[in-house]
Amino acid sequence: MSDYKYLQKVNFPSDLKSLNHSELKILAEELRSEMISAVSETGGHLGAGLGVVELTVALHYIFDTPKDKIIWDVGHQSYPHKILTGRKDKIKTLRQGDGLSGFTKRSESEFDPFGAAHSSTSISAGLGIATANKLSNKSDEVVAVIGDGAISAGMAYEAMNNAGDSKTKMIVILNDNDMSIAKPVGAMKSYLAKIFSGKIYFNFRETLKLIISSFSKRFSKKAGAAEDFLRSAVTGGTLFNSLGFYYIGPIDGHDLDVLLSVLKNAKDSKHEGPILIHIKTQKGKGYSFAEKSDDKYHGVSKFDVKTGVQQKSSSNAPSYTKVFANTLIKHAENDSKIVGITAAMPSGTGMDLFGNKFPKRMFDVGIAEQHAVTFAAGLATEGYKPYASIYSTFLQRAYDQVVHDVAIQSLPVRFAIDRAGLVGADGPTHAGSFDITYLSTLPNFIVMAASDEAELVRMINTSVEINDKPSAFRYPRGNGIGLELPNISEKIQIGKGRVIKEGKKVAILNFGARLNECMMAEENLSKKGINPTIVDARFAKPLDHNLIWQLATNHEAIISIEEGAIGGFGSHVNQFLNDNNLLDSNLKFRSMILPDKFIDHDKPEKMYKVAGLDASSIENKILEILNSKVVIKKIN
């Protein structure tokens, strides 16, 4: 840090105010270098942050933060913002245990007015804050920064529609880098490209008058050309104008002089209503390896700054994501009705591999999980076999569609639920904690969880033939445990679990990827003379009633284990035991679930220890239940 001429002196945005424009440009380059250095040591989101360095400097220079509010959509591009807002000394703790979050987080800093990690929320949140200011007669500014991928989501349109009608002043900055995680899809991409290629620098003559005085001479010709274009243009020709926004742009998001001028005039504007500033940036800007990468180094592991080479996993086992993709490809080679769907996460879900093989049968619908689910439902009505591959945490955004459009109609949509359970560095916003609960409660659903990569293959194989109702199979982030994979003809019987090991006294009823921890706990317990039965339940719905009945009548205790919140697998087992009068003084039942709290980011194994779902916790729970007596407590 001492090698930097200006960055070492900047701890908070107030420190920027003493710098001139030339010094700010040097600071921006230092900020970019520091971000590259930090992420090379921690891993994380790189490309998006590199693309908004100049914008970050300009925003904090022009606006009076934290009094004025800057809301970063998603928040994965906020690393430069964190460096400038009192967190410079902690930037190399990003995404580490007890370190900085990889996203914006209200509890972390007063400069983070709204926590984010899922996309397309910034305009809604910004409008809420701006409305609160209006009701309180406060003049604080509100700025929402949203990317071209995120603005394609339905929620962003809902917010813009409301904002334009409300006549409430707020500033929306559309960061158009033509490169979200994957290429932005849909009509919005074409629309932004049309604006840029048409050289519509400003859509109103009034806008030109507002900012032209701030432009240097080298922009006068461009401004004049834009004004000439406007004379022949149809009035109100932009989508944003139609939505009630005062549109400015597109402008070069890496030209600090222009950014400073435009932002200052937007701030000083007395315009009643929302203003949208459209900037063009380059994802990965300033780091050649990121600039040349297909995904512009969106998310990276630790890497060598000089070579750009990222650290590879030490595991030789394939990732669950790749196992899913390769298995689905094999089935699709034999079944032309199989189609793949993803919501802007082709590489994260493995659908890019499927798309390479079957380009006409893979559909990336953009950041639009609600649409993805109902789109899949429509395909299912016509006899196709849609596989909607969506992270557990993102499927939450489409729950009404899962209920109304899929479950009620009993349509055979197959949900491939990636990132099930705790996910490590991305923290609670990306944890797959709730899907077991929110799916298992629905009639007409089959809910499976893979305990290892071989089981995942069997579940995919089984799902291909489920043609009368929806089904879901969940699997964790990361690599498998190194098992040989079965062929695609090997299926499992719906609603039937499997006994891994016969034992006595206590039965461990596992659902999901904690099976290996159960086996480790069993190994330790056997040394103490305790030999539990271990069962891989496979299904949360339908439950294997016969197997659970046998466990209940042949053991003193049953412990269910799952990587999910209350209301899931264990709750359904408990309900079955109660309904059949199996819970009496002769049987003890306990469910081990994720605790009723959000667990901060850390390495997954540490998060599961905090959650009480590691081998040691399982062992201790069994010892506790075997040594306990049934006590009925009276509640006063």
The helix (H) or strand (E) run that includes residue 209 is helix 205-211
Q: Quote the pLDDT of residue 239.
A: 83
Question: What whole-number distance in Å separates Cα of residue 577 and Cα of residue 587?
Answer: 10
The helix (H) or strand (E) run that includes residue 130 is helix 122-135
Tokens representing 453 are 């990569």
Q: Quote the pLDDT of residue 3.
A: 84
Which residues have CB under 8 Å from 481's CB, separation 6+? 317, 452, 453, 516
Is pLDDT above 60 for 214? no
Q: Quote the pLDDT of residue 179.
A: 54
Is pLDDT above 70 for 231? no
Q: Quote the pLDDT of residue 223.
A: 46
In the residue annotation, 369 being an active-site residue is answered as yes
Q: How confident is the model at residue 586 (pLDDT cuts 50, 70, 90)?
A: confident
Q: CB count, 10 Å around CB of 111?
A: 20
CA-derived radius of gyration, the chain: 27
Strand partners, 385: 338
Phi then psi for residue 192, to 5 deg, are -65, -40
DSSP string, 296-359: TTSEE-SB-TTT-PBPPPS--SPBHHHHHHHHHHHHHHH-TTEEEEESS-HHHHTHHHHHHH-G
Q: How far is CA 168 from the centre of its chain?
A: 30
- pLDDT tens-digit readout, 130-144: 999 999 999 999 999
Exactly one of 87, 283, 458, 541 is catalytic; which is it? 283
Which residue would you say has higher pLDDT here, 148 or 374? Answer: 374
- Provide the edge-to-edge strand list for the sheet that holds 539-541: 362-364, 338-342, 385-391, 414-418, 471-474, 446-449, 539-541
Half-sphere exposure of 204 (CA within 13 A, CB side): 17
- pLDDT tens-digit readout, 536-567: 999 999 999 999 999 999 999 999 999 999 99
- pLDDT tens-digit readout, 483-492: 999 999 999 9
Among candidate residues 318, 321, 319, 324, the one with its CA nearest the CA of residue 460:
324
Tokens representing 300 are 């990276």
Q: Quote the pLDDT of residue 1.
A: 56
Percent of the chain with pLDDT over 70: 88
DSSP 8-state secondary structure symbol assigned to residue 303 = B
Our CA dihedral for 580, 583, 584, 588, rounded to 10 degrees, sits at 160
Which residue would you say has higher pLDDT here, 226 or 542? Answer: 542
Burial 423-446 (b: 16+ CB within 10 A, else e): bbbbbbbbbbbbbbbbbbbbeebb
Tell me whether strands 275-280 and 171-176 are parallel, antiparallel or unpaired. Answer: parallel
Tokens representing 88 are 């410079």
Is pLDDT above 90 for 180? no
Do 286 and 80 contact (CB within 8 A), yes or no? no
pTM equals 0.87
Q: Quote the pLDDT of residue 182.
A: 52
Q: How far is CA 408 from the centre of its chain?
A: 27
Question: What whole-number distance in Å separates Cα of residue 208 and Cα of residue 378?
Answer: 46
Do 392 and 474 contact (CB within 8 A), yes or no? yes
Q: How confident is the model at residue 192 (pLDDT cuts 50, 70, 90)?
A: low
In the residue annotation, 397 being an active-site residue is answered as yes
3-state SS class at 557: strand
Q: How confident is the model at residue 196 (pLDDT cuts 50, 70, 90)?
A: very low
Is pLDDT above 80 for 297? no
Q: Quote the pLDDT of residue 188.
A: 58
Exactly one of 397, 538, 541, 590 is catalytic; which is it? 397
Q: Quote the pLDDT of residue 184.
A: 55
Q: Quote the pLDDT of residue 629.
A: 59
Is pLDDT above 80 for 117? yes
User: Which residue type is seen at 39?
Assistant: V
3-state SS class at 218: helix
Residues of the chain with CATH 3.40.50.920: 498-627
Is pLDDT above 80 for 147? yes
- Provide the edge-to-edge strand list for the sheet that holds 588-592: 498-501, 533-536, 506-511, 557-562, 588-592
Exactly one of 369, 453, 455, 517 is catalytic; which is it? 369
Enter the CATH code of domain 498-627.
3.40.50.920
Per-state percent for the chain, helix, strand, coil, to nearest 5: 45, 15, 40
Which residue would you say has higher pLDDT here, 221 or 301? Answer: 301
Residues of the chain with CATH 3.40.50.970: 7-300, 320-474
CATH homologous superfamily of 7-300 equals: Thiamin diphosphate (ThDP)-binding fold, Pyr/PP domains (3.40.50.970)
Q: Quote the pLDDT of residue 308.
A: 87
Is pLDDT above 60 for 209? no
In the residue annotation, 206 being an active-site residue is answered as no
Tell me whether strands 471-474 and 446-449 are parallel, antiparallel or unpaired. Answer: parallel
Q: How confident is the model at residue 296 (pLDDT cuts 50, 70, 90)?
A: low
CA angle 518, 542, 463 (to 5 degrees): 90
Strand partners, 339: 386
Burial 122-141 (b: 16+ CB within 10 A, else e): bbbbbbbbbbebeeeeeebb
Least confident of 97-106, 124-133, 162-171, 196-205: 196-205
Question: What whole-number distance in Å separates Cα of residue 44 and Cα of residue 39?
Answer: 6
Tokens representing 259 are 């950014």
Question: What whole-number distance in Å separates Cα of residue 454 and Cα of residue 439?
Answer: 23
CATH homologous superfamily of 320-474 equals: Thiamin diphosphate (ThDP)-binding fold, Pyr/PP domains (3.40.50.970)
CA distances from 618 to 515, 519, 592, 611, 625 (A): 11, 10, 8, 11, 11
What's the distance, Cα to Cα, between the start and end of the chain in Å?
A: 61
Half-sphere exposure of 28 (CA within 13 A, CB side): 27
3-state SS class at 325: helix
Q: Quote the pLDDT of residue 25.
A: 96
Q: Quote the pLDDT of residue 534.
A: 98
Locus of tokens 């579940």: 459
Average pLDDT over residues 191-211: 44
Q: How confident is the model at residue 248 (pLDDT cuts 50, 70, 90)?
A: confident
3-state SS class at 523: helix
Q: Quote the pLDDT of residue 177.
A: 85
Do 306 and 276 contact (CB within 8 A), yes or no? no
Average pLDDT over residues 277-296: 86
- pLDDT tens-digit readout, 617-634: 999 999 999 887 544 444
CA distances from 111 to 60, 148, 205, 490 (A): 10, 24, 35, 54
Q: Quote the pLDDT of residue 193.
A: 46
